[in-house]
Amino acid sequence: MFTGIISGIGTVVAADGGRFTVRSDYAADSIALGASICHDGVCLTVTGVQPDGAGSRYTLDVSNETLSLTALGQWAPGRPINLERALKAGDELGGHIVSGHVDGLARITDSRADGDSTRLTLEAPESLAPFIAPKGSVALDGTSLTVNEVDGARFGVNLIPHTLTVTTWGRKKRGDLVNIEIDPLARYVARLLEMRR
């Protein structure tokens, strides 16, 4: 499990079909084989790790299913990615519960300055729109964000300067696709209502 609070920015250094190599600032001796790390919102298993200066280089094997449902198919060497380590017992839950199981892709349709912050409008797949509510939570490229407003399948979020600095969001632009994971609580409430009908 994750919280959507990004703890580092990694860089894709190699991409070969479904195998990726990522450079991170996480110390190699802090990453166990089989560890789960969230990459742009996708929970992936570390299959190999080696030191790289004070940080590490590690490999990931990604299934065709994951490549087809997420933005990982766009990964190429040099691409920066949001990273988050898995929760440990006793860790602070600073964002919201994030599983790392991406539901689909959302497209950035508008980006504008709002004081020092940036307001983004995104469009979600129609099938996910009912799960996105004003003042609810959503994970976008692994980042826990609060939904400002909703209009059909479109919704808005606000990114403060800190978020723009410590994540990859400062590099995003209109037209970009991002991984979206809806709030799991919304999913369970919707399923409960469906079963009661």
pLDDT number for residue 113: 95
Residue 92 forms part of a structural domain: no
In terms of DSSP H, where are the helices of the chain?
64-69, 161-166, 184-196
Within 10 angstroms of residue 45's Cβ, the number of other Cβ atoms is 13
Residue 136 forms part of a structural domain: yes
Extended strands (E) in the chain: 8-16, 19-24, 36-39, 42-52, 55-61, 80-85, 104-114, 117-123, 137-140, 143-151, 154-159, 177-182
Residue 91 forms part of a structural domain: no
CATH number, domain with residue 192: 2.40.30.20
Residue 139 forms part of a structural domain: yes
pLDDT number for residue 33: 96
Q: Which of 87, 95, 91, 83 is nearest to 136 (CA)?
A: 95
Residue 128 forms part of a structural domain: yes
Together in a domain, 77 and 110: no
Together in a domain, 161 and 112: yes
pLDDT tens over the chain, length 197 residues: 899 999 999 999 999 989 999 999 999 999 999 999 999 999 999 999 999 999 999 999 999 999 999 999 999 999 999 999 998 877 877 888 899 999 999 999 999 999 999 999 999 999 999 999 999 999 999 999 999 999 999 999 999 999 999 999 999 999 999 999 998 887 777 777 778 87
pLDDT number for residue 16: 93
Contact 100, 37 (CB under 8 A): no
Domain of 14?
8-85
pTM: 0.93
Residue 2 forms part of a structural domain: no
- CA angle in degrees (0–180, nearest 5) for 110-9-75: 70
Together in a domain, 121 and 75: no
- SS3 for 185? helix
pLDDT number for residue 195: 81
pLDDT number for residue 93: 78
Number of domains in the chain: 2
Together in a domain, 73 and 108: no
Together in a domain, 54 and 113: no
Residue 99 forms part of a structural domain: no
Question: Which residues lie below 8 Å from residue 188, measured CB to CB, with a gap of 6+?
Answer: none
